[in-house]
């Protein structure tokens, strides 16, 4: 695990954007694993800026998002489909047929999860996976106690994740309780991983993922098993190291 500490959020974000754009420049038809959440929003903004400046194009690039809320239509403003359209896909030249996000409104969500895992394998796996981390150490929606060998499946959100994500919904009761998420084993199969964590609210999760014991209680600690993981953090997120 390579830990990269930056003075500011902006410099950490720019480094992650450079990492992703560099991957695409070197291999235009690469497969990116993508994340959602507030932390990675500026990364997408930085990628859009590079695209608008003609420094990168995505028309051959494939993507698989980590997760989606079960029960939300793709058009729901709080779905991760809408998030990705808003922050990246509608603002760049990604081709819709190359971008993948689990369908949270599938008639059979468990079958959709199995199908999604097969789709990733069928595409040859993920070259570079972008990750954020939850305050409780979750990656994707793999909440504490998730099996370290889990694959894409249904996962109930932890109460603290429902609370954290309720800032995007009108009422906390509107936050879906269940997600479809890549599993921890799915994530570990990516060739390379870049995790971004910023802000003091992530300091404990960052400490646990880097220095803590390998434990299902901190799903991100599973990244200690991965040979090509980079952790990009700002000074505040690094405060407990």
Residues at the site binding ligand GLP, with contacts judged by CB under 6 A: 35-39, 66-67, 132-134, 140-141, 161, 165
136 is catalytic: yes
Is-catalytic flag, 62? no
Residues 6+ apart with CB under 8 A from 122: none
Closest distance to ligand GLP from the beta carbon of 37 (Å): 3
Evaluate whether 198 touches 129 at the Cβ level (below 8 Å): no
The answer to whether the beta carbons of residues 82 and 99 sit under 8 Å apart is no
Sign of CA dihedral 123, 232, 84, 174: positive
Q: Is 138 one of the annotated active-site residues of the chain?
A: yes
Task: Between 25 and 239, name the residue whose CB sits nearer to ligand GLP.
Answer: 239
Q: How far is the CB of 131 from ligand GLP (least distance, A)?
A: 6
Question: What is the DSSP pairing of strand 2-6 with strand 31-34?
Answer: unpaired
In the set 136, 142, 208, 230, the catalytic residue is 136
Q: Is 143 a catalytic residue?
A: yes
Contact 36, 168 (CB under 8 A): no
Residue 57 or 135: the one with the smaller Cβ distance to ligand GLP is 135
Contact of 225 with 188, CB cutoff 8 Å: yes
Structure-token pair, residue 49: 């800026």
- Let me know how long the chain is: 241
Q: Which is nearer to ligand GLP, 38 or 124 (CB)?
A: 38
Tell the residue number behind the tokens 């468990």, with chain if given. Answer: 110
Among the options 67, 117, 127, 234, which is catalytic? 67
Report the nearest approach of ligand GLP to the CB of residue 153 (Å).
14
Nearer to ligand GLP, 44 or 141 (CB): 141
Nearer to ligand GLP by Cβ, of 109 and 134: the residue is: 134
Sign of CA dihedral 58, 61, 65, 70: positive
The least CB distance from residue 130 to ligand GLP, in Å, is: 9
Strand positions, DSSP E, 121-168: 128-131, 153-156
CB of 35 to ligand GLP, least distance (A): 5
Check: CB of residue 15 under 8 Å from CB of residue 232.
Answer: yes
Which residues are identified as catalytic?
67, 136, 138, 143
């Amino acid at each position: 695990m390579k830990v990269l500490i930056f003075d500011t959020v902006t410099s950490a974000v720019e480094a992650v954007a450079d990492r992703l754009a560099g991957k695409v420049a070197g291999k235009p038809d690469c497969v990116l694993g993508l994340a959602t959440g507030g932390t990675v929003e500026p990364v997408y903004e930085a990628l859009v800026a590079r695209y608008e400046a003609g420094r990168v194009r995505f028309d051959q690039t494939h993507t698989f998002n980590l997760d989606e809320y079960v029960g939300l239509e793709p058009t729901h403003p709080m779905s991760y489909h809408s998030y990705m359209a808003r922050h990246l896909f509608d603002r760049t030249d990604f081709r819709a047929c190359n971008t993948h996000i689990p369908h949270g409104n599938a008639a059979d969500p468990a079958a959709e999860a199995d199908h999604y895992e097969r789709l990733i394998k069928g595409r040859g796996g993920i070259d570079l996976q972008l990750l954020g981390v939850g305050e409780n150490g979750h990656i994707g929606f793999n909440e504490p106690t998730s099996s370290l060998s889990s694959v894409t499946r249904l996962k109930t959100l932890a109460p603290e994740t429902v609370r954290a994500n309720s800032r995007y919904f009108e009422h906390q009761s509107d936050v879906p309780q269940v997600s479809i998420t890549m599993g921890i084993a799915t994530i570990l199969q990516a060739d390379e991983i870049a995790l971004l964590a910023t802000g003091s609210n992530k300091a404990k999760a960052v400490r646990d993922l880097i220095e803590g014991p390998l434990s299902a209680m901190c799903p991100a600690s599973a990244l200690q098993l991965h040979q090509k993981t980079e952790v990009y953090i700002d000074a505040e997120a690094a405060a407990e190291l």
